[in-house]
Structure 1
Amino acid sequence: MVTADALHTQHDHATYLRERGAHYLAIVKKNHPALYARVRQLPWRDIALDHYQRTRAHHRMEIRRLKTAAFTHLDYPDAAQALQVVRWRRESGTGKLTIARVYLMTSLKPGEATGEQLAAWIRGHWSIENLLHHVRDRTFREDDSKVRTAHLPRTMASLRNLALGVHRQDGRTNIAAALRHTARDYKRPLTALGLAGRKGSIGFA
């Protein structure tokens, strides 16, 4: 099972995976307007609930509802089911309520995975989004970068991923605080990379 955000919801990508025996679970957004409209306009109100989950963590309460619908006429390679996930999130401190609807497609046929399994895969994908892409967007402000020439954007993305990986491996959960900490002393990044000892000496193996 390969999960993907809307950027990778492409016919060629789905074909590549299916030809190699892999299944996909792909998010559908408005950057694919026709596909999004067809999935969104399914009679979701009349479709039975497949999975329900309520959690409380990080000073907020969340409710997630998952529905699935068999879909044999969707213009996407081997698409067998459409999914709707509705998320309610209420912040404990402010009481603010946000509701989000997310639509997905999968090559899995009805009965090949339970609602609980589908929900777990989706949450696993969002965990990656929160741990990686969200931090790159918010902390590194990647979307505001003016570096757009040739391979430089990919190089900078790799360096950001390296920084994230090093800090998380070092046990840091607040990446913004970790970046501020290492920025105060040029030896700290080298130490985190194993290139400098406690006294600041640099060595290479």
Structure 2
Amino acid sequence: MAVDGKALRGTRHGSDTGRARHVLTAITARTMALLAQAEVDGKSNEITVFCPLLRPLDLTDAVITVDALHTQREHATFLVEEKNAHYILVVKNQPSLYRQLKGLLWRQVSIAHREDHHGHDRSECRQLKVLASPPGWPSRTPPKPSPSSESPGPATRRRTYREDASLIRTGNGPAVMAALRTIAIGILKLHGWTNIAKANRHNAHQAQRCLTTLGIT
């Protein structure tokens, strides 16, 4: 499961402060089905919303991926001890933790999983190795390595649905529309579509196709 935040940039035009509204969402990584969403108060940040967002969900044995902002010891403890989950954190804003991890014996550990990606004029090689977590960071027995759980949800909403250009800027409208876009992407993914823009064009030709996709006849 991926937890990711997104600033709804178009809403800054309807704000007295000029600050965009911000939402934090939890979605399944492969199908992008929306599990939870919360709006981030303009006076706080995503960190304070993380635990309340996930607390109602059953995360037993789930693998939670987040960006560097949520590489927090408190979040790791919450996921492992309260939710019985696993986590994948990006370590780039925690210098001490980064040094601890860099000092581990990575060269002596075999590769547990490897993926090669080609696209957008670049090639990527991702390798997964497993070692015990550094002192002070809770962990559980790692799950079986699986394909990448990186989620393109916010990027798809931005590019395909032109979310940042939305004119819905006031009240609960921006957060509701962000949720509806994510739900639409999840439904199309569950029906086997990998290219959301192509799926939208396909359904736009005949409105009946949308009803069929939703199981409405």
Task: Tell me the TM-score normalised to structure 1 length.
Answer: 0.53
Q: For residue 184 of structure 1, what is the aligned residue in structure 2?
A: 205
Higher strand share: 1
C-alpha contact (below 8 Å) 1:9/1:27 kept by paired residues: yes
Q: Percent identity?
A: 31
Q: For residue 47 of structure 1, what is the aligned residue in structure 2?
A: 105
Select which of 140, 155, 164 maps to 2:185.
164
The higher radius of gyration belongs to 1
Q: For residue 72 of structure 1, what is the aligned residue in structure 2?
A: 135
Q: 5+ residue gaps in structure 2?
A: 1-60
Change (3 A) 1:21 1:173: closer
SS at match of 1:62: strand
Q: How many residue pairs align between the two structures?
A: 150
SS at match of 1:172: coil
Task: Tell me the TM-score normalised to structure 2 length.
Answer: 0.51
C-alpha contact (below 8 Å) 2:191/2:213 kept by paired residues: yes
Q: For residue 48 of structure 2, what is the aligned residue in structure 1?
A: none
Select which of 132, 152, 156 maps to 1:135.
156
Q: For residue 142 of structure 2, what is the aligned residue in structure 1?
A: 113
Task: Encode CA deviations 1:55-111: one digit per residue, 9 max, x unaligned.
Answer: 4566767341536354224xxxxx14xxxxxxxxxxxxxxxxxxxxxxxxxx23xxx
Deviation of residue 17 (structure 1)?
3.4
Q: For residue 96 of structure 1, what is the aligned residue in structure 2?
A: none
RMSD, aligned α-carbons: 3.6
Select which of 156, 175, 192 maps to 1:154.
175
Q: For residue 84 of structure 2, what is the aligned residue in structure 1?
A: 22
Bigger relative contact order, structure 1 or 2 (CA pairs below 8 A, ≥6 apart): 2
Query: Residue 125 in 1 paired to residue 187 in 2?
Result: no
The 5 A counterparts of 1:72-91 are 72-73=135-136, 79-80=137-138
Task: Encode CA deviations 1:25-53: one digit per residue, 9 max, x unaligned.
Answer: 141355xx3xx222222362662343424
Deviation of residue 13 (structure 1)?
4.2
